[in-house]
Amino acid sequence: MDQNQEQISQLMAKLELLLKKQQDFNIQVNELRRDIQILKNEQTQKPIDQVETTKETVPEIKETVVQEKTVPIKDEKPVQAIENPVKKTTPPEQTFAKKAKKPSSKSNLEKFIGENLINKIGILITIIGVVIGAKYSIENNLISPLTRIILGYFVGIGLVGFGIKLKAKYENYSAVLVSGALAIMYFITFAGYSFYGLFPQTMAFAIMLLFTIFGVVASLNYNKQIIAHIGLVGAYAVPFLLSNESGNAAVLFGYMTIINIGILVISFKKYWKPLFYSAFGFTWLIYFVWFAFSYTYEEHFTLALVVLSIFFVLFYITSLAYKFIKLEKFKATDIILILLNSFIFYGLGIGLLSDDIVGKELLGVFTLGNAIIHFITSVIIYKKKLADRNLFYLVSGLVLTFITITIPVQLDGNWVTLLWALEAALLFWIGRTKNVGFYETLSYVLVLLTVYSLMQDWGDTYGSYWFKDSSPVVSPFFNITMLTSVVCVLSFSFINWMNLKHRPATKTLLSKIMNVGLPAILLITLYYSFYLEIQYYWDIVFRSSKIETTIDGYATNQYNYNIRNLDQVWLIIYTLVFFSMVTFVNNIKLKSRVLGIVTLVFSLLLGLFFLTNGLYTLSELREAYVDQKYAEYYNIGFSNVWLRYVAIAFFALLLFSIYKLIRQPFLKINFKVPFEIILHTSIVWIASSELLTWMDLSGATQGYKLGLSILWGMYSLLLIALGIWKNKKYLRIAAIVLFAITLVKLFFYDIASLNTISKTIVFVSLGVLLLIISFLYNKYKHVITDENEK
């Protein structure tokens, strides 16, 4: 159905284009008639029957063109068949007329200047002259105010009469005169009321209303935008050309409202975009300038709010009127104007209400009122089917936008995040299932707003504990912030699921970015939702460990800093579990190459962090247990030791998840050799840490020197044996590198402080290991040689 609807729309657009061409052709026919009549008057020697024949031929051409309307739009061939006879039946007189009309480019420019440009400049100069003359007479008191007004009206009426008289033969010129006369009469009426007080308010508005009606009727009768432009839009200059800074704001805006009503009436018949653009720009510009430089709350609050609402409604109806009547499709400029009008109204309205004591409490109601206005419009469009569905989606989008804005304006904290998260999921579902790109784009905006709001909630909950209050703000894991985080995770999960289930028909740049961005947002939100709660829990435990003591006569607070190390270890364990689970889910269910590469990189970085910072923190816990540094105040138990095995176990889980990941076909990366090197590096690193731990627990003091050197030498031997057995050259090279490091350590670090017995043990041990390694190389040299040859 959607495809058929699209084809129908395209065919209707073609038909509309043909009808416009037909209208242009009819205009050319009328011009040909006029030229023929002129030739008839000038060339009296031409036979009358030839002219009569020409007159009869022209309507026939018009008839043939009109028949194009009845041609079926599904088949384009009949249209071509109709166009050909028109070309064949073109009479010689018409050909002569076309040849007679065809001027050179120089003549075209001359024609444009002479027939179009000069008259517009002339009427503009005439209007300026009238204004200057009126201003001069005012400043010098040459004539009485009443005489000035009467003379101004006479000038305007005279131009109207002269223009109407010339309409039959000089339509364009006549339209310019009428429009200029209309602007002059606007000037005079405004001056008579605003500066001289010659008219009561009701009478002045009635007169200007009559001029507006006249301008509307004249512009429609002439079918010329110039009348509306000069007569209506040009009238916006009245208050500024004649102003002596004594004008009344209510009169100014009432005057502008009348002009805009005239434009609204025209919009029901004609969609003259330049007229609408000019009126829109002038109106809001004048309002902005007045609001910025002349507005005062005490004097103008009610007026400003009422006028703002009137202008918004007028332009809102004007922008929709012609589209509703003609069922035209909305274009980008139409959408921009509707959005501009809506957000100008909302922005200025919020600014006005924020200054009012009662208005501050109604900001949410005002925002919701905007949503209701657009909702009523969308319902009318949907029920009456007044325009294309893009307009419906646009207005519905405005409804959702203002509802979205209402949430933070009226509510606080977590409710904003919750509602935005749910709304984002709803909009994405509608946009993707109904194939409405605007809704989908709006959902992306809401996702980003939700993330931003969630980060604020995290800061308010977890950050305020340290920087604002001395007691916990909420209970760990069972609080509104945690609930908000879970709802956001569920919302983002639903969006990602919909994104995988319903692939877009056409991939845009934004959709490609969000294909990566949406999973990233989900993973980051999920990770930090629990990470921050774990950290918050240990923060509370640490703060609760405070003991007030006296050292050297000074009162001080003592904290159990062992808890800080426990906090860091548990966060590392959580991170190991998180990335392991993500990798397993991707391996089993998602099978995403992008996610696989991302998790592989982060897992490797996390592994490096565990081997460096993680094992170091675990050693700090071990030393705290052995030294019992805080035993005077706190109990440091054996949990400091066994926690390391929980961490190592989950590190092993991470390595296993990486191993399963690199074997997946969708990853398309050969990572087996690097992984095996990483695996053996991790084993020897953890084994070294274990050796130091148990030597420290047993009270041995030579762990870093004697113990590590012997361990590394033995593991080098193991790697050599494994490399020969599995025919893996890289393992043998790694073993040689490890043994070289051991020897460097032996000569530059160990030997300096070892006693004679320790030196003997380490040298003999390493020497024996080297001999064994050499023996293995000699015994299996044929295996190694065959491997190299292969």
The verdict on residue 307 lying in a domain is: no
Tell whether 70 and 122 lie within a shared domain: no
Q: What is the mean pLDDT of residues 454-474?
A: 71
What separation in angstroms does the CA of 712 have from each of 451, 645, 717, 732?
48, 21, 9, 14
Interatomic CA distance for residues 603 and 789, integer angstroms? 36
Tell whether 96 and 133 lie within a shared domain: no
Residue type for position 440: E
Q: Is the pLDDT of residue 75 over 50?
A: no
For helices 332-354 and 297-326, the axis angle rounded to 10 degrees is 160
- Amino acid 293: pLDDT: 83
Q: Is 46 helix (H, G, I), strand (E, B) or coil?
A: coil
Condensed to tens digits (0 to 9), the pLDDT of residues 152-169 reads 888 888 888 887 887 777
Q: What is the DSSP string of 260-294?
A: HHHHHHHHTT---HHHHHHHHHHHHHHHHHHHHHT
- Amino acid 62: pLDDT: 40
Q: Among candidates 399, 449, 393, 397, which has minimal Cα distance to 421?
A: 449
Interatomic CA distance for residues 479 and 466, integer angstroms? 17
The verdict on residue 606 lying in a domain is: no
The verdict on residue 525 lying in a domain is: no
The verdict on residue 375 lying in a domain is: no
H-run or E-run covering 22: helix 2-42
Tell whether 213 and 146 lie within a shared domain: yes
Domain finish residue from 221, 252, 283: 252
Interatomic CA distance for residues 317 and 408, integer angstroms? 29
Q: Is the pLDDT of residue 384 over 70?
A: no
Q: Is the pLDDT of residue 90 over 60?
A: no
Tell whether 123 and 66 lie within a shared domain: no
Tell whether 143 and 171 lie within a shared domain: yes
The verdict on residue 202 lying in a domain is: yes
- pTM, two decimals, is 0.59
Half-sphere exposure of 19 (CA within 13 A, CB side): 10
Tell whether 180 and 89 lie within a shared domain: no
Q: Is the pLDDT of residue 40 over 80?
A: no
Tell whether 92 and 140 lie within a shared domain: no
Q: What is the mean pLDDT of residues 129-139?
A: 65
Tell whether 93 and 156 lie within a shared domain: no
The verdict on residue 178 lying in a domain is: yes
Place 526 in a pLDDT band, splitting at 50, 70 and 90. Answer: very high
Domain finish residue from 207, 234, 252: 252
Q: What is the mean pLDDT of residues 120-143?
A: 65
Tell whether 171 and 73 lie within a shared domain: no
Condensed to tens digits (0 to 9), the pLDDT of residues 300-324 reads 888 999 999 999 998 888 887 766 7
Burial label for 234, CB within 10 Å (0-12, 13-18, 19+), is buried
- 192 within 8 A of 149, measured Cβ to Cβ: yes
Average pLDDT over the chain, rounded to an integer: 78
Q: Among candidates 417, 431, 598, which has minimal Cα distance to 516?
A: 598
SS3 sequence of 230-247: HHHHHHHHHHHHCCCCCC
- Amino acid 84: pLDDT: 42
| Lookup result for tokens 């950290």 | 535
Specify the number of domains making up the chain: 3
Q: Is 548 helix (H, G, I), strand (E, B) or coil?
A: strand
- Amino acid 689: pLDDT: 92
Q: Is 719 helix (H, G, I), strand (E, B) or coil?
A: helix
Interatomic CA distance for residues 714 and 299, integer angstroms? 92
Condensed to tens digits (0 to 9), the pLDDT of residues 544-602 reads 888 887 777 777 788 888 999 999 999 999 999 999 999 999 999 989 888 999 999 99
Q: Considering only 297-301, 633-637, 751-755, which range has the smallest mean pLDDT?
A: 751-755
Tell whether 126 and 239 lie within a shared domain: yes
Tell whether 231 and 133 lie within a shared domain: yes
H-run or E-run covering 558: strand 554-558
Condensed to tens digits (0 to 9), the pLDDT of residues 174-203 reads 777 787 787 778 777 877 777 777 777 678
Place 226 in a pLDDT band, splitting at 50, 70 and 90. Answer: low
Q: What is the torsional sign of CA 156, 159, 165, 167? A: negative
The verdict on residue 777 lying in a domain is: yes
What lies within 8 Å, CB to CB, of 605 at 6+ separation is none
Q: What is the mean pLDDT of residues 218-237?
A: 66
Q: Among candidates 395, 251, 402, 258, which has minimal Cα distance to 316?
A: 395
For helices 639-662 and 562-585, the axis angle rounded to 10 degrees is 20
Residue numbers of the domain that contains 721? 701-790
The verdict on residue 707 lying in a domain is: yes
Q: Among candidates 569, 421, 414, which has minimal Cα distance to 482?
A: 414
Condensed to tens digits (0 to 9), the pLDDT of residues 403-421 reads 888 878 777 678 888 888 9
H-run or E-run covering 437: helix 437-458
Tell whether 121 and 40 lie within a shared domain: no
Q: Is the pLDDT of residue 107 over 60?
A: no
Domain finish residue from 205, 225, 252: 252
Place 2 in a pLDDT band, splitting at 50, 70 and 90. Answer: low
- Amino acid 230: pLDDT: 60
